[in-house]
Amino acid sequence: MGKEITSREQDYNQWYNDLVIKGNLADYSAVRGCMVIKPYGFALWENMRDVLDKMFKDTGHQNAYFPLFVPKSLFEAEEKNAEGFAKECAVVTHYRLKADPDNKGKLIVDPEAKLEEELVVRPTSEAIIWSTYKGWIQSYRDLPILVNQWANVVRWEMRTRLFLRTAEFLWQEGHTAHATAVEAIAETRQMLDVYADFAENWMALPVIKGVKSPNERFAGAEDTYCIEAMMQDGKALQAGTSHFLGQNFAKAFDVKFSDKENKLDYVWATSWGVSTRLIGALVMAHSDDDGLILPPRIAPVQVVIVPIYKGEEQKALLDATVSGIVTQLKALGISVKYDDSDNARPGWKFAEYELKGVPVRMAVGARDLENKVVEIARRDTKEKTSVPIEGIAEYIKTLLEDIQLAMYNKAKQFRETHISQTDSWDEFLQLLDTKGGFVSAHWDGTAETEDKIKELSKATIRCIPLDNPLEDGKCILSGKPSTQRVLFARAY
C-alpha cells in the first residue's frame, strides 16, 4: 500500500533517508554532495525562515546581500578562519567555456580565461563582509551594524547526508559590528537565546545552551555559543551557533572606528547562523517508523481532510460540509488541504499523510455526516477520536496547540532520560556504547585530553552548559583536577 519505510531499529540511518526522500522533503542531485530541496521540504524551510526572519527583525536586524565569491587574498586575511575552511573550499579558477575542438557538441574550460586571482565560493561570509564593513565604518555613529544574510554556502564535505551535511546548504548568517566587547557579547548571547526560543517553541526541539570548548570553536572566533539537541538514536546534534569574534576580523581587515573621545579602536564582531541542517534535526527528533511527525507551528499543511464516499451524490454532500469546515479553519489561520483526488483510496492517503507528518487528519464519511461528526486522528500519538462538526475549528485549533506541546514534552523527556552523569571512565564508555545521549563528566580543560577522549570514545565535548554549576572533581580520563562537568556525546 504505502511506501516502504525502514524501521529505526532495523537501520536508523536508512530510516532517516527513507523519511527525507519518501516524505518528499529532499533528494540527491546529479551534483556530488548537493541535494535538491523538493517543494514540500522547501515549504517547511520557508516556514522556519519566516519565523526566524521576524525574530531577527524584531531584535533590530536588517537583511543584506554580499557576493557569493571571496577573492583568495581576502579569504586568507583572517588566518585561523582561512585555515579552518581551506580544506573544503570550492574554487572558481576560470570564467569561460569554449567548444571542444576534438569533440563536437562538447565544451571545455577555456584555458585563456583563467582568473588572475582565484575565487572561493563562500563557505561562510566573514571575510567578504568585513572587507565591506571597512568602507561602512568610520565613527561610533556608524555602529552597531546589525545585518543578516540569507544565502547558500558551499563546504566541500567528503561524507555527506541529506540536510545534515551537504556540500551546498542554505542558511542565514548574522554579521554584526559593535563599539565594545560587552555589547558584542550581549549580541552573541541574545542571538543564542533567539535560536533556543525558535528551536523549543517552534520546532518543539529542546536544546541545551552552552559554550564550546576551544577545540570545537568556529575558526576565527573567541567564543562559540551553541544550542545542542538530542536525537532519538542518542546522538547529539549542534542546531545553531553564535560566535563572539572579538576584534579578529576587524584586525584582519583593518576596520577601526573613532569613539566619542575621537580615539581609534578596532571594531568588535559577532556572527551567528542556523541552516537547513535544522530540518535534519527536526526529522530525527520527532519522527517514527511510519514517517515524519512535524510540529504544527511550522508544518506546511496542518490539517488534511480525506473524504470517504461512494458515488457522486455522497461526494457532493461531503464537499458542502467540508467546504464550510475549510473556511472556518482558514479563518483561524490554520493551513488545510482537502484531498478529494480520485486517484487513490482513503487508506493510501492516510498512509501518505502519515508519512508526510501532517499533524492532524480529518476523515469524513457519509455516516459521519448523518451523526454530525468527523473522525480526527493526531499524527503524534495516532489517537483517533470522533468529534462533533459543531465547533470543529476551535477543537482543531486547541488540538494543534496540544500536539505542539506534547511533541516538545516527549522530546524533552527523552532528552532528560538521556543525560547521564559519571565519574568512571569505564562507565563513560559503557554509557556511550549502550544508552547513548549526553554524558556529564569532569574534564581537565586541556585540548590534549579532549583529543584523547575523542580518539578513545568517539565522543566530543558538545558544550559547557551556560548554567553549569562549579564543582570540584577529577577529569574522567586524566584524573587531573577539574572545576566543572561538561557534556560529552557522540554527535552528528
Which residue ranges make up the site for a copy of itself (CB under 8 A)? Answer: 27, 29-31, 34-39, 42-43, 45-46, 62-72, 74-76, 79, 82-83, 86-99, 105-107, 109, 118-121, 128, 131-132, 135, 141, 147, 151-152, 154, 156, 168, 170, 343
By C-beta, is 34 or 51 nearer to a copy of itself? 34
Which of 71/291 has CB closer to a copy of itself? 71
Q: Which residues pair with 120 in a beta bridge?
A: 70, 91
Q: What is the DSSP string of 79-139?
A: HHHHHHHGGG--EEEES-EEE-TTSTT-EEE-GGGEEEEEEEEPSSSHHHHHHHHHHH-SB
Supply the minimum distance, in Å, between the C-beta of residue 59 and a copy of itself: 15
Nearer to a copy of itself, 71 or 296 (CB): 71
Q: Is 332 helix (H, G, I), strand (E, B) or coil?
A: coil
CB 354 to a copy of itself: min, Å = 21
Report whether 362 contacts 387 (CB < 8 A). no
Please identify, using beta-carbon distances, which residue of 300 and 436 lies nearer to a copy of itself.
Answer: 300
Q: Dihedral sign, CA of 83, 84, 87, 88? A: negative
Which residue's entry shows cell 468529534?
A: 387
- Element (H or E) spanning 270, and its range? strand 268-275
Q: At its nearest, how many Å lie between a copy of itself and the CB of residue 2?
A: 17
Cβ atoms within 10 Å, residue 134: 15
Name the grid cell of 259: 569613539
C-beta closer to a copy of itself: residue 57 or 452: 57
**For residue 18, which phi and psi values (nearest 5 degrees)?**
-60, -45
Nearer to a copy of itself, 254 or 289 (CB): 254
Determine whether 73 is exposed, middle or buried from the number of CB atoms within 10 Å of its CB (0-12, 13-18, 19+). exposed
Distances, alpha carbon 375 to alpha carbons 38, 359, 476, in Å: 30, 14, 54
Q: What is the nearest approach in angstroms of a copy of itself to the Cβ of residue 131?
A: 5
Output the smallest distance, CB 75 to a copy of itself, in A: 7
CB nearer to a copy of itself: give 31 or 456: 31
Cβ contacts of 124 within 8 Å, gap of 6 or more: 81, 85, 153, 173, 271, 273
Scan for cell 470522533, then name that residue.
386
- Tell me how far, at minimum, the Cβ of 50 lies from a copy of itself, in Å: 10
**CB of residue 97 to a copy of itself, shortest distance in Å:** 4
The minimum distance between CB 94 and a copy of itself, in angstroms, equals: 4
User: Residue 126 or 368: which CB sits closer to a copy of itself?
Assistant: 126
Antiparallel, parallel or unpaired: β 268-275 and 236-246: antiparallel
What Cα–Cα distance (Å) separates residue 347 from each residue in 22, 350, 354, 371?
17, 5, 11, 22
Q: Please, what is the minimum distance in Å from the beta carbon of residue 352 to a copy of itself?
A: 14
CB within 8 Å of 446: residues ≥ 6 apart = 478, 480
Cell of 207: 536544546
Q: Where are the alpha helices (DSSP H) in 168-290?
A: 181-201, 248-252, 277-286
Nearer to a copy of itself by Cβ, of 123 and 445: the residue is 123
Q: Select 152 or 314, whichever has its Cβ closest to a copy of itself.
A: 152
CA distance 52 to 458: 33
- Toward a copy of itself, which CB reaches closer, 128 or 143? 128
Name which of 335, 334, 333, 309 is nearest 321 in CA terms.
309
Work out how close the CB of 76 gets to a copy of itself at its nearest, in angstroms, rounded to a whole number.
5
Q: How far is the CB of 45 from a copy of itself (least distance, A)?
A: 8
